[in-house]
Copies of this chain bind each other. A is one copy, B any other.
Amino acid sequence: MTQFMNKKEDIVTDAVDGIIAASGGKLARLDGYPHIRVVVRNDWDKSKVALVSGGGSGHEPAHAGFVGEGMLTAAVCGDVFASPSVDAVLAGILAVTGSAGCLLIVKNYTGDRLNFGLAAERAKAFGLDVSMVVVDDDVALPDLPQARGVAGTLFVHKIAGALADRGVSLKEIAERVEKVISGTKTIGMSLDTCTVPGSPKETRIPKGMAELGLGIHGEAGVEQIQYTNAKQAMGAVVAKLADHMGDGNHVALLNNLGGASVLEMAVLTNELAHSDIAGKLKWLIGPASMVTSLDMRGFSVSVYASDDEELETLSHPTSLSAWPGVSEITPVTVLNLPDGLAPIKPLPSEHQETRDFLIKCCEVLIESESDLNALDAKSGDGDTGSTLAGASRALISTMDTLPLADHTQLYRAIGQELSQAMGGSSGVLLAIFFAAAGDAASSGLSMTSSLKAGLVRMQEVGGAKLGDRTMVDALLPALDALNDGWDMAANAARAGADHTATLVKANAGRATYINAQQLEGHTDPGAEAVARLFEHLQG
């Protein structure tokens, strides 16, 4: 699959420059391109313990995205999935370390251990106080003496970052994060492999399978399991973690390995909150892409039994948008539905003249059913006549329940009835027309003005303007002429409807998807319906 990059060998320097450009001037880099790619805080005065991390790239936002106030001081970025050189690490250490010293936070991979380890020794030769901790949180491989460092590294970055920010000494920070490291456990799962830039995608994971306990560099998982659904996937992950969890309130870190959608991560969050270990999980970091494996459609869960003081450091402020913060995991609050969803039923009332008028309108539309269907067949799916006739029949059958004597309420009641009886957009638009007209009538406007107000609102919502080949082309001129009597209104409606046959481009509604040749010469069925209504009412 193609990816957004330029030359493969420039991907890390391009990305580092992008991260710095988006930092608002808070980050800088050392002048060591292409081989030395070190991101540092631009406002660092060396008065506190410096925290330096890094490793291979491809795990963004880790680690450059976590450089900033309250977290790391510098990140040393290797090639994708490759350890940075000793010189690069040393440059990072020398650039940020003052008399308070420096802590190297290293994920447990041979290359990183060696290169950071030797850089530490070289820095010590300059009289600098440098310590190194190695994060080995992955529980995927129980028998491997060297557990890998994966997303649990974030606990270390954040806790050490808060301690350093508060002026705690190097010795104490190192001791406290060693405790964090020994208590942090992580396992990952993926439905697909990642795509290494410039390399063909591996097709190791068959459709319908998931890999459990996989690394963050595309290493194969410990096992492939049948994938059923999100619940089962999270169940398999927490089962691996459960063996390693003691008592106490744990913080969970839910990490997107890069390619799961935000929607999927939300589903997984819900499963984690209802999983077998949920009783031990009190706080959550994420879901977010924190330590990714490029575009891997997978996730990892890290857990740590945090004491109150550590929790407080995890909650210590940082302005870094890559850090999602810590939230307490709470049961979902469900609020009662508000009153008013069931429409207000108006009191029925009788008014013979109104009843006769409405029934006549309905009959006109019922009689026009086949004509309107035939017109609609030219530009749509041929059901305008049936839709209007059906709504008319429904309106006639409900006549006894309408507030016929209260015209203000009547508009709204008709709108409500039409929105229920008619499917699709037209029902909603007519409901809006009558509801807005009712609003206007209730504020004392005349019938004509009220109907015009309804039309304005319907146009606002529906977006149809005059000339767009909709019912508006007949209704708008008719209402404009209505103060001059039904005859003038009917003439205007007819002229408007006929004019639609000359409009070769529809700008609203479904007919927008039809080409000009198909439309020419055919009146819009909605406009025709309006014209027929006015024509029959003029008598």
Contact = CB atoms under 8 A, between A and B. Distances in A.
B269 A21 contact: yes
Contact of A91 (B15, B260, B261, B337): B337
A333 B42 contact: yes
Interface in A20-56: 20-25, 27-32, 36, 40, 42
A284 interface: yes
A385 interface: no
Given A19-B269, A25-B330, 17 more contacts: A2-B208, A4-B233, A14-B266, A14-B270, A18-B265, A18-B268, A21-B332, A23-B330, A25-B328, A30-B338, A60-B263, A90-B341, A114-B461, A121-B436, A125-B344, A259-B259, A262-B292
A21 B31 CA distance: 45
Contacts of A465: 145
A36 B337 contact: yes
Interface in A326-356: 327-341, 343-344
Interface string A85-100: 0110011001100000
Contact of A24 (B4, B271, B328, B468): B328
Interface in A249-293: 258-271, 273, 284, 286-289, 292
Interface in A181-220: 191-192, 197, 207-208, 210
Interface string A456-492: 0100111101001000000000000000000000000
Nearest first, the 8 A-B pairs at minimum CB distance are A117-B461, A24-B327, A18-B269, A18-B270, A121-B435, A15-B266, A94-B338, A28-B333
Contacts of A339: 94
Max count, chain B CB within 10 A of own CB: residue among A115, A118, A126, A336: A118
A532 interface: no
A146 interface: yes
A11 interface: yes
Contacts of A299: 4
Contacts of A468: 145
Contacts of A108: 463
Given A14-B267, A230-B6, A258 B261 contact: yes
Given A4-B299, A341-B94, A428 B115 contact: yes
Given A87-B341, A125-B439, A270-B14, A118 B432 contact: yes
A110 B6 contact: no
Nearest to A320: B325
A84 B183 CA distance: 45
A313 interface: no
Contact of A428 (B27, B30, B117, B269): B117
A517 interface: no
A148 interface: no
A31 B334 contact: yes
A233 B288 CA distance: 26
Contacts of A338: 30, 91, 94-95
A260 to B, nearest CB: 6
Contacts of A271: 14, 18
Interface string A1-15: 111111100010011
A18 B117 contact: no
